[in-house]
Structure 1
Amino acid sequence: MRGAAAGLTALALTLAFPAASAGDTRPKGAPVSRPLYVTQAPIVMLKDLDSGAILFSRGADKRFAPASMAKVMTAYVVLDLIKKGELARDKQFTVSEATWKKWNGSTGGSTMFLRPNEKVSVDELLKGLITVSGNDAAAVLAVGIDGSEDAFAKRMNVVAAKIGMTSSRFGTPSGWPDGGITKVSAADLITLADRLIRDHPDGYSRYFSLPKLQHGKSPEGKPIIQPNRNPILGRFEGADGLKTGHTAEAGYCFLGSAKRNGRRLIMVVAGMSSEKARRDEAERLMKWGFEEWEGRELVPAGASLGRIDVGKGAIPAVATEAGIAVRMTVPKGYEGSYRAVMRTRAPIAAPLIRGTPVADLVVTPDGLPPQTTPLIAATDVAEGGVWARARTGFYRLTGL
């Protein structure tokens, strides 16, 4: 009976998708002409978030020092604590004398110009962290949450591993040079951006596309206004966030995202020789991704896509749904077919929170690599008592 239940799930997925092109006579898996992209950048990666398709990749697994791009990890950790109710946006942290001495503008590096003993909200610190890449903001958040930057870095590593960043390690919340401890890969940065945008959409829209930050006053008493450091924000249609970085080792780097006509791309470039080269490469890569590829919607956001068994839960199975519209990314003018399957490791252990990723929808267009989109739990599932577990056992045996 267990096998029959799994078969029904696969059938439900098949019926949920539109039929393949009836006039397509090409053999399945036939090679497809991929759009050509030529670059001198040593590290480049471009992903379509909605489909999971990797449109271009070079040096994606090479580890390098991310500099201020590490602040995206810091932002993810803080947004996660806010989402869980463990930290409030209006919570205020005090800037200690030690933190100010270490990270004020006179020491070099980016700052939001915090003052010693100033009380600043988490909300304002997140704005300073992302908009102007404040090292002081990163330090105050870390010390306020965990007592020290080192303790917060340990938290960063735990969360990074949890969300699938397999080759990254963080030694500081700011990305300041730390003797080679902090290292990431382009693939991990793409994973981080993907998860941040999916897991914290409100936080992403609130903090990552501010055109400027006004905080602090100059010695003359004038307000300090700093522009956003994002090189394509306001220049490239649809660009809306993430971070730059620069180290002598990795050159000029950028983790960026843009959304056009409901389709979102995420990119990394690293190893560029100048700020201009970084900006030009980022714009050219994004333009290629939007103009040479197209996304075809297969499943609307919120659509149900079958059920997954739950272990030790109040109910035996949870419905899955598409958190965002699922699209298949293909070259412009593509005429092939595709196949789709839902993959998961069941049973999923209770408790579950609505919105938790519980499965992957893998769509494979003919002649192209598989494209993976996460599916989420449609409802909360609490831990079950003895009777609930007995009922689940009966369900496993009978499918009823």
Structure 2
Amino acid sequence: LCASVHASTTIVILTSDNEADLAVANVLAETIGAKVIVTPWGTLSDDAIAEIEASGATEVYVIGGEVAVPDVEEKIKITVKRFAGKDRYETSALVAKEWKKRNIKCAEITVAEGHDFAGIKDAMERAKVKKCPVVFIKTDEVPEEVEEVFDELNVNKTVVIEAPNMNKTKIHLKLKVRVKEVEDIKADWQERAREAIDKAKEVIAEAEEAVENITDAKSAAATRLIVVAKYHLEKAEAAFEEGKYGKAFGLAIAAKENAESAIKIASGITVGNFGKEIYKWEERIKTKGIEEVKEEICEDAEKFGVEEMKLRIQKQIQIKKKVGKQEGFQQVENKTEEKKKNQQVKAKSNQELEQEVQVEVGVETNLNT
């Protein structure tokens, strides 16, 4: 158990809704007695700002980098301390080191795979009870920044929340160099794989609702990500049926994260890699045109075997071609009608001219008589 827990009524913790950053924020908040305020990833919401101002806090801890939680230093008028690593692994390590800075002694550190949303939740709940840090690792690697945490906090035990695709042997070898005891919290791999697949389906459905048609760079980028997400999902379901639950789990997580990226791009988030992805598609559209870009994404869907997406994009292309033909027919009709009107105007003009000539001739005849 942890000792010397210092409650704080002057600090609030601000984080995005990213599952990893949110987990470490909640564990730190539980340990130091702070409130957690959440803003959507990639934005600083007005609600979050208002909640911070209303809290009466004198300092805000920000979990996540400028891309995840932007503009805090400019918009929040109290002291800001940011915990921002280059990725979720380093960010979790930076937050964990706060225990040493506050002289909070812990007997254990809880570890979860950094993209295992169910494992992250389990790790968070355990760490909150123990009031000790949670850190994240990769499926077959303990990042250097995380290794440093074990050395600095000088703990004797680590608890690993197993993920179905985790290389347990490799992870144990790394951890046992730094702690005396490694305890595994086992899970039903079949259940976890099924849960990951169901979650991926849910997020993909949200992404498809967010992007109905390809009309610009954002929708093109998002649609391409949905194609990839569906490809991973189909592979995950096939692996699940074969009883390869670790593989199914990993593919389902990939599908979920591709769909989440599609949703972020469709919602207008342009920071970091999302901005780069949108710019890439803007350049393609400038060079090739939106219709050729649609054709390319349709070909990718066919190549990946994502039949549903292929048919969906083909329908968009066919509708556009049909509209184009109708517009072409309308233009021909308009030109024919215009030509007819011109001929009528011309005929009318000739008739009026003949009448004018006849009048002039009549006048001239009368003058001569």
TM normalised by structure 2 equals 0.26
Question: Which structure has more helix as a fraction of its residues?
Answer: 2
Q: Between the two structures, name the one with larger relative contact order (CA 8 Å, sep ≥ 6).
A: 1
Structure (1/2) with the larger strand percentage: 1
TM, length-normalised to structure 1: 0.25
Larger Rg: 2
